[in-house]
Amino acid sequence: MRAICLVLFSISLTASSGLAQLGDAPALYAGADIVFDGRLEKIARSPSGLTAHFSLTQLIKGPAATSKDLQVQIPVETRCHAFEENHRYLVYGRNIHDQLWVDPCEGSKLFSQAEPDLRYINTINPKISEQCNRRRLKQLARSTPIVVTAKVVGTEDSMGTPATPFRPWCGLVLTTEYAYYDVLDVLKGQIHDSKIAVEHGICWDTITVDGYSPRLSPELFREDSVLLLYLKTGSHRDDQVPVPFKSGYEDVDENCGAVIADSDAAQSVRKNLHGAR
């Protein structure tokens, strides 16, 4: 029976790995027997490979959950990223011979990196939405003193200017990384510098970080990306930033303080702020 399960699981991986690589959220969602959001509490050895124990945050698709704890089987080795304990994930799973099997190659990912998936799922189930949705961004726009659009020039890591060789996750103290920008448009408040350095929090499982690594996301903060920034004045650090950038700014939200400016949600905020000026 174990051999049959493993063979069937290998076949399912082969059929779906291409979909995962394309980031095809509609196909991933349609092909999954269960979709859920949960925190991975423990990984342990099992007769069929590894067993992962999740603390369920929300069941998105599949049979009704009978408890807040969910157990799934995962392969010992994977071509994709390996699951790690104490992280929150959006999980796509398959029911194979009465066992739930999950593999990152079938689309499962850190919840902080699942915004496109959640945006699609919202079209099916309006109760599910991405973290930086339209309502959240509008709330931030009302409460944030400075809102701008700015083009990314680089980050401490990409420009080779980290303050310390090892950067810990934020915890007992706030850990940040500078990103450097050319300011394009001031939508709210006042900002007199055309080139600014902004502190962004480096916190566990947040959207702006690079997944498992304590640094800013190279994808979100890649050179020439245009971001919508929610800022306040102030700084937690007194180290120097490269000339001609001016420090003294920090984002107001560790998840949604910097978002792609041309997303539908961000464009809605920009339109509203332009109209209010």
Q: What is the pLDDT along the chain (277 residues), one digit of tens a residue?
A: 333 333 333 434 333 433 333 358 999 999 999 999 999 999 999 887 899 999 999 999 998 777 899 999 998 888 888 899 999 999 999 999 888 999 888 899 999 999 999 999 999 999 999 999 999 999 999 999 999 999 999 999 999 877 777 889 998 788 999 999 999 999 999 998 999 999 999 999 999 999 999 999 999 999 999 999 999 998 888 788 899 999 889 999 999 999 999 999 999 999 999 877 6
Boundary-marking domain end, from 124, 152, 171: 124
Structural domain boundaries enclosing 162: 134-276
240 and 199 in a common domain: yes
Q: Residue 2: its pLDDT value, please?
A: 38
CA distance 53 to 165: 34
Check whether residue 119 and residue 140 sit in a common domain.
no
234 occurs within a structural domain: yes
The CATH number for 108's domain is 2.40.50.120
- Are residue 62 and residue 148 in the same domain, yes or no? no
Of residues 133, 136, 105, 81, the one with CA closest to residue 9: 105
- pLDDT tens for each residue of 183-220: 999 999 999 899 999 999 999 999 999 999 999 999 99
- Could you tell me if 76 and 138 lie in one domain? no
Residues 139 and 34 in one domain: no
Q: Are residues 34 and 97 in the same domain?
A: yes
- Bridge partners of 124? none
141/186 same-domain check: yes
Of 124, 154, 173, the last residue of a domain is 124
Residue 273: name the closest of 175, 141, 119 by CA: 141
**Domain finish residue from 95, 124, 153:** 124
Let me know whether 230 and 111 are in one domain: no
Say how many domains are in the chain. Answer: 2
Q: Which residue has the tokens 């350095």?
A: 197
Which tokens go with 113? 């990196």
